[in-house]
Amino acid sequence: MNGAEALMRTLAEGGVEVVFTNPGTTELHLVGALDSVPQLRGVLALFEGVVTGAADGYARIAGKPAATLLHLGPGFAYGLTNLHNSRRANSPVLNIVGDHPTYHNAVDPPLASDIAALGGWLRGPVRRPESAAGAGTDAAATLASVMEPPGQVATVIMSADVSWSDGATAATPVDPPPAPAVPADVINQVAQIARGGDCALVIGGPALREAGLCAASRIAAATGLRVLQELYSNRVEHGAGLPSFPRLGFYPDQALEQLAGVRHVITAGTKAPVSFFAYSDKPSCLVPQDATTHVLADVGQDAVAALTRLADLVAPDTAAHVAEPRRPRLPTGPLTLHNWCDVVGALLPEAAIVVDESVSSGTALAAATAGAPRHDVLMQTGGAMGDGMPLAVGAAVAAPDRPVVALIADGCAMYTPTALWTQARERLNVTTVILDNRSYAILRQEWKYYSQRPGARDPDGNPQFDLGSPAIDFVRLAESFGVPATLARTAEELAEQFSHALAEPGPHLIQAMIPSAA
Amino acid sequence: MNGAEALMRTLAEGGVEVVFTNPGTTELHLVGALDSVPQLRGVLALFEGVVTGAADGYARIAGKPAATLLHLGPGFAYGLTNLHNSRRANSPVLNIVGDHPTYHNAVDPPLASDIAALGGWLRGPVRRPESAAGAGTDAAATLASVMEPPGQVATVIMSADVSWSDGATAATPVDPPPAPAVPADVINQVAQIARGGDCALVIGGPALREAGLCAASRIAAATGLRVLQELYSNRVEHGAGLPSFPRLGFYPDQALEQLAGVRHVITAGTKAPVSFFAYSDKPSCLVPQDATTHVLADVGQDAVAALTRLADLVAPDTAAHVAEPRRPRLPTGPLTLHNWCDVVGALLPEAAIVVDESVSSGTALAAATAGAPRHDVLMQTGGAMGDGMPLAVGAAVAAPDRPVVALIADGCAMYTPTALWTQARERLNVTTVILDNRSYAILRQEWKYYSQRPGARDPDGNPQFDLGSPAIDFVRLAESFGVPATLARTAEELAEQFSHALAEPGPHLIQAMIPSAA
């Protein structure tokens, strides 16, 4: 068995089922090994940002790691940005990066670079087996690393000679440790705080699924505290039959308003709120100055168990408040910032996975879908654009029987458009709606937050925010990658096209012309 | 003046004319400053890999730096891969990366990351002014860095508060030092070696332009040494009236054959040849074992002056052998690996810039264009795919009056397809020919170099090499970005479409169906 085979077999033995790939020559033995392990499915993408975003989406839905196969430092570099999102999502993603043999790097060939430095940028462990004999154990150790709560990105660098050399053996995977429990005295102290009033509870991470949401709702009902959801989450369960809470606002003023009057901020599964960007006249930390932060469960601790225990303490006889099944009426007329969300809310199918990279166009989405059939929402967690369409790829690979609805701002779609090709190739049930306002509308909004210099052009005149010259024809773009596509200018058109896309197997794209928020 | 304005004014004062951009909120003051300096032109791209590749192409043709404007670590990360190519090209590229204020990074907001680590991966200097007062001087120092011979990639990180704070002043740019001269005794020693016979001269970098080529030709004519051109070059002058030399082969056996029997390998402007990839049964260093390497001019030294002096020593009365004007006849019939190159050779216009990312489809290109009107050839220098279409953007911005012909393998086109949008937006005179063999043909070739395991699928069956499921419709893709496009299946169609594209202003794309080499 060569090193490449030992690695692939170890991953398969550890439960990995999918490897998202964009290989090159240094990965050819890994390609051969992938092909030889029947438990592993290789899913090719044309660009590494799609590979890594897909692995993230897969991990969020499957609840277990996907692997990526990337071509030396330059291939890894193309994939880093969506791995940054994965890191912020605490997604278990295992990167396999091929490299030259060490003796070959010594002559500094064109593709040589410091791959470990890139892995280090992701703050996860990086391993490089020194011989084929170490490939299996390093694979097993890396797999254990990615699954350590709360989940992380880790990398194994496979020198080509390690991949091609014989004498390797597959290693037995190590079970990851469970998420550490929150000590009882911490929960008891927080219970006292919660009972005392003037509290907000900010929940995130795994607490945004049914058990955590219900516990938070019970606590709120019994104590009167307000519950807020972190701004960007890796996976939120949402819809009829579930409690639903407001998300923290994007702008500092919004979050400060949401927390106004609070004396205690309790966190579970997420950090205390901070501003997404810095503004010269706004604080970075959004906990009110006279309020105290209490960590019920840190990121990586078992937040769901802690919330459930807290609910049992302060709300033993209180039920959660859950959303009734209730859909918006199908709207009519030209598309607006609000009515496109109503179309989605009215027609969202059962058990959908919604990928939300709608940026400034999606502010009305959560309300419009609150009573729709229960669904999961995946968001861009690290603020790096271009995650949505790849996340949809990975989610659809992880859950082939669930419809995936990807709501993508036009600007975001331009970082990873070839995700559509992989959707067509793998016949994934993804319905992409491009929210096309022909601008970087979020930047035009942000521009207003700064006091600009005299003489500076207003945002509508600044070419750096304009995506309309030329206008992008997303219908043709999708068709070029084998994805059927249509254009919607009215709510009726969007409704009809959305229904059709969901009814037909395989990927579809709808270019929805939405006026800009800014 | 705020820090952003001081930076932009310093760059303009230092001769920078173009900033390729994909900004975000942390760059808004830089966007405002860019807009306020009339000497600077902002060129927007939809993806950072296009931004950085365009800056590289601009630098190679303009012979002076372009700047990039990138959005924190994640935006920089998307741009890293083509900066790796820039690093290997020794292109002067100056990255401006926005960041949060240091106090804001301290709360670890979603977009925070170690930007300096990414800059370090490129092995160029990274500066971060600590206050607005330092923005101008750090900009000037970084500009000097990128122009240090042989040229490099350098980065200035602009914290948002440095950008928005007042109290800054523009700094006076520092002139870069000239390339160090090669000492006379080194040239004299090499002259003795060259006169002794059994020599090869490997030239690269700036030696691949007229003066260096002519000197090398004179040396060859007088001494009988064989001249070889480095495999991948940042810019080669080629065509009628110029000497032309074989390129080192991609595969070790090819290069070893080219150097067979040689006792002395002289290098000028490039390193001694090494294998692009490692193979278990081939050497990494391609200088024959019984040959000695002599460095006439190291990378960064004045190779052209050294070659010229060497020619004056060993070939005082010898003229260079230059190619006669001679074009291939226009071929007919279905496109082949050879005849598409003849179409280009037959029709290449005067003063063209050829971007060659043709990979396995382009082996016949150099011969077919050797007698065409003099042109520059830009190649992918770092082995990272996706450089070609962005290089074409930058070259066309640098030389608006020259036709740019981009020859792009289908796989390569899928990393940075939105380069076409910037070509349309800026009405650039770029004719892109996609060499569409519907596969990663280079990987199918490489596969044959490895002894694969029993039971492994042959390359034609391995889905990891297949780009034909679904087939990519490059015509629609180009049209989606506002670039007129056509499909060519025969040499006649390619010739007609190529002529038409060159005759009409603005960008065009031709999808040329080429059989695979593998």
Measured distance CA(B364)–CA(B361) in Å, rounded: 8
Q: What residues in A contact B454, CB-CB < 8 Å? A: none
What was the pLDDT predicted at B447? 81
Asked, for residue B325, whether it belongs to a domain, the answer is no
pLDDT band of residue A490 (cuts 50, 70, 90) is very high
Say if residue A287 is in the same domain as residue A381. Answer: no
Candidates A107, A456, A481; nearest CB to B274: A107
**Does the structure show a pLDDT above 70 at B518?**
no
Q: Are A395 and A353 in contact (CB under 8 A)?
A: yes
Across chain A, which distance is largest between two alpha carbons, in Å? 71
Disruptive mutation site among A83, A121, A428 for chain B (greatest number of B CBs within 10 Å): A121
Answer with the one of A299, A314, A329 that is the final residue of a domain: A314
State the nearest Cα–Cα gap between B71 and chain A, in angstroms. 9
Say if residue B300 is in the same domain as residue B343. Answer: no
Are the Cβ atoms of B456 and A277 closer than 8 angstroms?
no
State the nearest Cα–Cα gap between A456 and chain B, in angstroms. 6
**Where does residue B312 rank: exposed (0-12), middle (13-18), buried (19+ CB within 10 A)?**
middle
Which of B334, B389, B328, B385 minimizes the C-alpha distance to B360?
A: B385
Are the Cβ atoms of A80 and B75 closer than 8 angstroms?
no
Candidates A78, A274, A383; nearest CB to B74: A383
Mean pLDDT of B176-202: 97
Are the Cβ atoms of B32 and A2 closer than 8 angstroms?
no
R_g of chain B, CA atoms, integer Å: 24
What was the pLDDT predicted at B451? 56
Are the Cβ atoms of B277 and A26 closer than 8 angstroms?
yes
Give the number of beta-carbon pairs within 8 Å between A and B: 277
Say if residue B372 is in the same domain as residue B228. Answer: no
Say if residue B400 is in the same domain as residue B252. Answer: no
Alpha carbon B407 to its chain centroid, in Å, reads 13
Candidates A73, A160, A275; nearest CB to B109: A275
Q: What residues in A contact B473, CB-CB < 8 Å? A: 479-482
Which of A278, A271, A235, A275 minimizes the C-alpha distance to A255?
A: A275
Asked, for residue B327, whether it belongs to a domain, the answer is no
Please count the other Cβ atoms lying within 10 Å of the Cβ belonging to residue A118. Answer: 27
Asked, for residue A188, whether it belongs to a domain, the answer is yes
Write the pLDDT tens digit of every residue in A91-146: 999 999 999 999 999 999 999 999 999 999 999 999 999 999 999 999 999 999 99
Write the pLDDT tens digit of every residue in A240-265: 999 999 999 999 999 999 999 999 99
Q: What residues in A contact B275, CB-CB < 8 Å? A: 104, 107, 109
What was the pLDDT predicted at A451? 56
Disruptive mutation site among A46, A412, A442, A473 for chain B (greatest number of B CBs within 10 Å): A46
Which of B90, B82, B59, B53 minimizes the C-alpha distance to B303?
A: B90
Alpha carbon B205 to its chain centroid, in Å, reads 11
ipTM above 0.90, yes or no: yes
Mention every residue, 6+ apart, whose C-beta is less than 8 A from residue A301.
A149, A179, A180, A181, A182, A269
Write the pLDDT tens digit of every residue in B208-260: 999 999 999 999 999 999 999 999 999 999 999 999 999 999 999 999 999 99
**Where does residue A356 rank: exposed (0-12), middle (13-18), buried (19+ CB within 10 A)?**
buried
Candidates B85, B121, B443; nearest CB to A24: B443
What's B260's domain CATH number?
A: 3.40.50.1220
Please count the other Cβ atoms lying within 10 Å of the Cβ belonging to residue B118. Answer: 27
**Where does residue A91 rank: exposed (0-12), middle (13-18), buried (19+ CB within 10 A)?**
buried
Answer with the one of A314, A347, A366 that is the final residue of a domain: A314
Q: What residues in B contact A110, CB-CB < 8 Å? A: 88, 232, 276, 381-383
Say if residue A137 is in the same domain as residue A270. Answer: no
Candidates A33, A88, A470; nearest CB to B482: A470
Q: In what helix (H) or strand (E) does residue B370 lie, and over which residues does it extend?
A: none
For tokens 């070509």, the residue is B423
Report chain A's mean pLDDT, rounded to a whole number: 96
Are the Cβ atoms of A472 and B421 closer than 8 angstroms?
yes
Q: What residues in B contact A108, CB-CB < 8 Å? A: 271, 274
Answer with the one of A110, A134, A164 that is the final residue of a domain: A164
CA separation, residue B256 to residues A264, B252, B275 (Å): 73, 6, 10
State the nearest Cα–Cα gap between B85 and chain A, in angstroms. 8
Which of B230, B259, B267, B261 minimizes the C-alpha distance to B245?
A: B230
When divided into structural domains, chain A yields a total of 3
**Does the structure show a pLDDT above 90 at B445?**
no
Range of the domain at B201: 184-314
Say if residue B151 is in the same domain as residue B196. Answer: no
Asked, for residue B334, whether it belongs to a domain, the answer is no
What was the pLDDT predicted at A341? 98
Q: What residues in A contact B271, CB-CB < 8 Å? A: 108
Bridge partners of B268, per DSSP, are B203, B297
Q: CA end-to-end span of chain A, whole Å?
A: 59
State the nearest Cα–Cα gap between A51 and chain B, in angstroms. 12
Asked, for residue A491, whether it belongs to a domain, the answer is yes
Q: What tokens appear for B366 in the block? A: 């150099």
Write the pLDDT tens digit of every residue in A144-193: 999 999 999 999 999 999 999 999 999 999 888 999 999 999 999 999 99
Disruptive mutation site among A5, A26, A31 for chain B (greatest number of B CBs within 10 Å): A31
Mean pLDDT of B336-345: 97
Mean pLDDT of A194-212: 97
Asked, for residue B321, whether it belongs to a domain, the answer is no
CA separation, residue A9 to residues A1, A406, A460, B416 (Å): 10, 33, 55, 34
Measured distance CA(A440)–CA(A399) in Å, rounded: 32
Candidates B21, B44, B480; nearest CB to A477: B480
Say if residue A408 is in the same domain as residue A286. Answer: no
Candidates B28, B77, B481; nearest CB to A472: B481
Disruptive mutation site among B18, B28, B442, B511 for chain A (greatest number of A CBs within 10 Å): B28
Are the Cβ atoms of A46 and B120 closer than 8 angstroms?
no
Are the Cβ atoms of A80 and B84 closer than 8 angstroms?
no
Say if residue B356 is in the same domain as residue B471. Answer: yes
Say if residue A308 is in the same domain as residue A370. Answer: no
**Does the structure show a pLDDT above 60 at A518?**
no
Say if residue A136 is in the same domain as residue A243. Answer: no
Q: Are A335 and A489 in contact (CB under 8 A)?
A: yes
Minimal-distance CA residue of chain A relative to B102: A278
What was the pLDDT predicted at A441? 86
Q: What residues in B contact A518, CB-CB < 8 Å? A: none
Asked, for residue B174, whether it belongs to a domain, the answer is no
Q: What residues in A contact B412, CB-CB < 8 Å? A: none
Q: Which amino acid is it at A171?
A: A
What was the pLDDT predicted at A188? 98
Write the pLDDT tens digit of every residue in A63-94: 999 999 999 999 999 999 999 999 999 999 99
State the nearest Cα–Cα gap between B445 and chain A, in angstroms. 10
Q: What residues in A contact B29, CB-CB < 8 Å? A: 450
Say if residue A356 is in the same domain as residue A301. Answer: no
What's B425's domain CATH number?
A: 3.40.50.970
Are the Cβ atoms of A276 and B424 closer than 8 angstroms?
no
Are the Cβ atoms of B75 and A84 closer than 8 angstroms?
no
Mean pLDDT of A16-30: 96
**Does the structure show a pLDDT above 60 at A452?**
no
Which of A162, A149, A148, A91 minimizes the C-alpha distance to A122?
A: A91
Say if residue B70 is in the same domain as residue B193. Answer: no
Asked, for residue A332, whether it belongs to a domain, the answer is no
Residue of A516 and A229 predicted with greater confidence: A229
Measured distance CA(A509)–CA(B240) in Å, rounded: 50
Write the pLDDT tens digit of every residue in B65-78: 999 999 999 999 99
Measured distance CA(B225)–CA(B223) in Å, rounded: 6
Minimal-distance CA residue of chain B relative to A114: B121
**Does the structure show a pLDDT above 80 at A450?**
no
